[in-house]
């Protein structure tokens, strides 16, 4: 069986698709290693998932205030390339898969320098900078959207966004989370580490929009995954609201299985989870996302009818009314059907098949 290296890191949106792909490859009898930033989130998640991990230094491809690359980051990136090249030279995997983000670049570029086949997965509606650097020499690029801006001709294969394909019955999910089965559930997910901007605004917006947890269409409860580091700020502000629960971290499968409506950023990971579970989504794209890719993602979902975009500067003014509009039964049913039509079910299998199709049959 083949040895496959999955190069990933930086954010949950890059890491969890790699974990899902690793699980699929292991089921098929292949050997896998995650390669990412030493000390990054990916190292912790690999340990939690009991997956082999090799860490290298990784420099961010960011610009300084003068518009020049930070030389310290360039030095780290150079060291990471050397470390990754040595590792891959010893292991000689059949294929290396890059999931985007600066932490994936050392593994992918090193593989290409060693003539090891590479396959990329692009999760956004626009090809990211790190993926653009590697796309020309990649064998193929699995995509999460039908149309990807910046993708070289002939490289793209639509596979979807790999997610954890598990659901719970709504009653079981609500029971696990300690929520009221008689209330509609509004889930707030600000990304793998929470969103300070959403945390700062949403408790007060929803307190005003849902007095006593009531809407014109029935009672509502809020499950707010605010990020562990922000919990001490958010929890006291909603402590007097029995219908508003703030948690640092939630079980994603249970939370999405319980949700009737969600407020999220517009990373493709969150949007894919929402689609798999059929959850209508009010999307607040991260304004600082690389090349504004979250806004492109959100607009694609909005065009499908599965969600609505509210830009960050308008959250205070517009979110309350949007929540009340989207909990209306007919509106929610329409958006639910549109979300299910975008489901990424089978994406992990399709990406795995694409990877194996380009793997060397025998590593030298």
Per the annotation, binding residues for UDP-N-acetyl-alpha-D-glucosamine are 11-13, 124, 164, 192, 294
> In Å, what is the CA distance from 193 to each residue of 13, 60, 226, 235?
11, 19, 8, 16
Q: Give which of 64, 104, 45 is closest to 80, Cα–Cα.
A: 104
C-alpha span between 288 and 292 (Å, rounded): 7
Dig out the tokens for 148 from the structure. 């990807």
Torsion angles phi and psi, residue 227, rounded to 5: 95, 135
C-alpha span between 18 and 25 (Å, rounded): 10
Strands of 3-7's sheet in order across: 53-56, 31-37, 3-7, 95-98, 118-122, 140-143, 156-158
Dig out the tokens for 109 from the structure. 């570029």
Yes or no: say if 261 and 323 are a contact pair by the CB < 8 Å rule. yes
CA dihedral sign, ordered 258, 259, 265, 267: positive
Helices in 60-101 by DSSP H: which ranges?
Answer: 71-91
Reported as half-sphere exposure (CB side, CA atoms, 13 A), residue 252 has a value of 22
Dig out the tokens for 120 from the structure. 């990329």
Q: Give which of 54, 48, 17 is closest to 34, Cα–Cα.
A: 54
> In Å, what is the CA distance from 226 to each residue of 41, 44, 180, 249, 328?
17, 20, 20, 7, 25
Binding residues: 11-13, 124, 164, 192, 294
H/E segment holding residue 5: strand 3-7
Torsion angles phi and psi, residue 298, rounded to 5: -65, -40
């Amino acid at each position: 069986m083949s040895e496959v290296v999955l190069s990933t890191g930086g954010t949950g949106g890059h890491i969890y698709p790699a974990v899902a792909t690793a699980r699929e490859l292991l089921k098929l009898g292949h050997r896998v290693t995650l390669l990412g930033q030493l000390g990054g989130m990916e190292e912790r998640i690999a340990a939690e998932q009991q997956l082999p991990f090799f860490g290298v230094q990784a420099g961010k491809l960011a610009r300084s205030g003068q518009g020049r690359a930070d030389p310290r980051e360039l030095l780290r990136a150079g060291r990471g390339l050397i470390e990754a090249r040595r590792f891959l030279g010893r292991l000689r995997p059949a294929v290396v898969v890059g999931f985007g983000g600066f932490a994936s670049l050392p593994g992918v570029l090193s593989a290409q320098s060693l003539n090891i086949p590479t396959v990329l997965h692009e999760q956004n509606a626009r090809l990211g900078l790190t993926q653009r650097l590697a796309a020309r020499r990649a064998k193929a690029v699995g995509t999460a959207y039908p149309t990807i801006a910046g993708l070289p001709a002939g490289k793209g294969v639509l596979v979807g966004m790999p997610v954890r394909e598990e659901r719970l019955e709504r009653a079981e999910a609500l029971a696990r989370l300690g929520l009221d089965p008689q209330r509609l559930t509004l889930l707030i997910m600000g990304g793998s580490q929470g969103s300070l901007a959403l945390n700062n605004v949403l408790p007060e917006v929803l307190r005003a929009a849902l007095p006593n947890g009531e809407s014109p269409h029935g009672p509502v409860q809020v499950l707010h995954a605010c990020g562990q580091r922000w919990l001490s700020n958010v929890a006291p502000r909603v402590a007097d609201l029995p219908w508003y629960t703030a948690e640092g971290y939630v079980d994603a499968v249970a939370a999405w299985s319980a949700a009737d409506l969600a407020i999220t950023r517009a990373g493709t990971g969150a949007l894919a989870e929402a689609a798999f579970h059929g959850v209508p989504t009010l999307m607040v794209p991260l304004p600082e996302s690389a090349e504004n890719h979250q806004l492109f993602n959100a607009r694609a979902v909005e065009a499908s009818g599965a969600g609505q975009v509210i830009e960050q500067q308008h959250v205070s003014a517009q979110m309350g009314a949007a929540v009340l509009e989207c909990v209306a039964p007919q509106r929610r049913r329409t958006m639910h059907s549109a979300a299910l039509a975008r489901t990424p079910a089978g994406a992990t299998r399709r990406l795995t098949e694409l990877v194996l199709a380009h793997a060397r049959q025998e590593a030298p």
